[in-house]
Amino acid sequence: MLFADAAADPVYALLKLDIETLIFPVVVQLCVILLVARLAGVVFRWIGQPSVVGEILAGVMMGPSVFGWLFPSAFTFVFHPQFAGIPAELTAAAIPKIFQVLAQLGLLFLLFLIGLEFDYSHLRVKGKAAVAICIVGTVLPFLLGAGIAPWIHPYLEPYPLNGPVPLFGMALFMGTALSITALPILGQILIELGITRTKLAVVVIAASAVGDAVGWVLLATVATLAKVGTDGYDPWHAVRMVVLLLGFAAVMVLVVRPLLARYFRWVIRENGGELGLNGLSVLMVAMLLASLATNLIGIFAVFGAFALGAVLSDQTAFRDAAVGRIRDFVTAFFLPIFFTYTGLRTEIGSLDSAMLWLICGVVVFLAVAGKIVGCGLAAWLTGFSARESTIVGVMMNTRGLMELIIINVGYDLGVIPKSLFCMFVIVAILTTVMTTPIVLWLRRGTELEDPITASGYLRSTGQPQDDRAMQPA
């Protein structure tokens, strides 16, 4: 019976799909994604923004909000290919998964590089500052987001199938989305500015890393709370995650770090300063295993990769060898895929009334104020100057696509409708775009001034090397 109906079975048709037929739309998408992302990166670097900001916006523009709206036929051809005998729904579910897996792999590599690039020795002096910035920068935005939810709720559209959006779950997800800092994007910005080894950058990246780890635990807890009344709630779930996370951190520091540090010192010595194929293979396996561990804990695989980079960040020779082998390919290939396939889930045009745009403006204002005021005040109280504290707040205000991950979870759970989703997309873009110009404007008289000048970033953007006349006094 199975073979008799095989011709009409869409799953059978997918299994019999010729690999050359399948690879054609994949290659087309890769060509479009890589070319558009690189062009946007060059343009945004020229106008004074890190190239990663251009790639984020390119991902959104290639989605249904711009490309799909202006050129629907071309958009369908590139991102929604059809195959004979296979229903459109099955194709639409299968093809994006290929790129989503590639995007997540790219994010693993990026988080590993970010962890590897930072000098954590400053935390011996400023560790308390990082903790204070993390706490205030998480709690205040969360309270602002959750607090504004009752005012926003009556103006939001119901779900077509699920009915009105539940206020409790919406408030929790709004608070979580406002409290997050985009660790991968912030790390990329700091790398491009050449300030990764500065005290300010290390404190900020440590605060955002701890904050994001807390954020993922918070996200899991909030997602569970949002299901109250259907699946029930286990109060020990978050406790279990915290205990497992602490155990994972202990194993990484006490077991993994000494073993890998000794191995990579030997490999680099034997290969004349290079990792070699065997060393690179061991590094890849170690990164994937660390990612698998945090995935099983429940705080997302990317933090395992970050943790591996962090525990090996003091191995100078290894860091130079690993970055030289990995960074360019990750930046040129994996990251544009991640940005694009996040952008494909975004529809900016759902804000279709003046009231929704007013609400969007209020959400943006609270998002910015919560981070800059909260984190800036914590930095000032822990010994940073007023200008340095403002820089800390601006850096922590970077949200990027980590926020989009959170609101996608909320959308899937039915607690964040499409219009609110779009508002947070705007928050993510604006808070990321504003980071670099404000940091450059405030850099004079801080430890960031000389590294930024030495990095060549200002020359690459056409800005003057000495723009003191434009700096705040």
Express each pLDDT in 78-103 by its tens digit.
888 887 777 777 777 777 778 878 88
Residues 63 and 125 in one domain: no
The answer to whether position 469 is within a domain reads no
Q: What percent of the chain has pLDDT over 70?
A: 85
Domain range for 41 is 6-95
The answer to whether position 172 is within a domain reads yes
Both structure tokens of 339 = 């940005």
pLDDT at 225: 66
- Distance between CA 388 and CA 397 in Å, rounded? 14
pLDDT at 229: 41
The listed range with the strongest mean pLDDT (116-125, 156-165, 329-338, 359-368) is: 359-368
The answer to whether position 442 is within a domain reads no
- Average pLDDT score over the chain: 82
Residues 137 and 29 in one domain: no
Instruction: Kindly report the CATH number assigned to the domain that includes residue 201.
Output: 1.20.1530.20
Q: Which residue has the higher pLDDT, 212 or 144?
A: 144
Residues 118 and 83 in one domain: no
Q: Specify the amino acid at residue 207.
A: A
Residues 90 and 160 in one domain: no
Residue 27 has pLDDT above 70, yes or no: yes
Express each pLDDT in 112-159 by its tens digit.
887 887 666 655 656 778 888 988 988 999 999 999 999 999 988 887
- Confirm if 308 and 113 have CB atoms less than 8 A apart: no
pLDDT at 126: 62
H or E element in which residue 82 lies: none
pLDDT at 468: 45
**457 in helix, strand or coil?**
helix
* pTM for the full predicted model: 0.73
Q: How many CB atoms lie within 10 A of CB 297?
A: 22
Residues 58 and 130 in one domain: no
Residue 428 has pLDDT above 80, yes or no: yes
pLDDT at 360: 93
Among residues 219, 199, 177, 207, the alpha carbon closest in space to that of 420 is found at 177
Residues 124 and 40 in one domain: no
The answer to whether position 242 is within a domain reads yes
Taking residues 205-212, report their average pLDDT.
Answer: 79
Residues 55 and 196 in one domain: no
Residues 60 and 23 in one domain: yes
Ranges 124-138, 218-232, 252-266, 351-365: which has the least confidence: 218-232
**What distance separates the 2 farthest-apart alpha carbons in the chain?**
81
Q: Based on the number of CB atoms within 10 Å of its own CB, is 387 exposed (0-12), middle (13-18) or buried (19 or more)?
A: middle
The answer for residues whose C-beta is within 8 angstroms of residue 324's C-beta and 6 or more apart is none
**314 in helix, strand or coil?**
coil
Residues 261 and 325 in one domain: yes
Please state the domain count of the chain: 2
Residues 50 and 137 in one domain: no
- Boundary residue ending a domain (75, 95, 115): 95
Q: How many CB atoms lie within 10 A of CB 263?
A: 16
Q: What percent of the chain has pLDDT over 90?
A: 23
Sign of CA dihedral 430, 431, 432, 434: positive
Ranges 55-64, 229-238, 361-370: which has the least confidence: 229-238
The answer to whether position 462 is within a domain reads no
- Confirm if 152 and 359 have CB atoms less than 8 A apart: yes
Confidence category of residue 224, pLDDT binned at 50, 70, 90: low
Residue 356 has pLDDT above 70, yes or no: yes
- Distance between CA 53 and CA 56 in Å, rounded? 5
Beta bridge partners of 163: 159
Mark residue 174 as left, alpha or beta (left: phi above 0; alpha: psi -120 to 50; beta: remaining).
alpha
Taking residues 215-219, report their average pLDDT.
Answer: 71
pLDDT at 121: 61
pLDDT at 3: 38
Express each pLDDT in 289-318 by its tens digit.
999 998 888 767 878 888 899 899 888 889
Residues 80 and 118 in one domain: no
Residues 325 and 194 in one domain: yes
The answer to whether position 370 is within a domain reads yes
The answer to whether position 466 is within a domain reads no
The listed range with the strongest mean pLDDT (225-229, 271-275, 464-468) is: 271-275
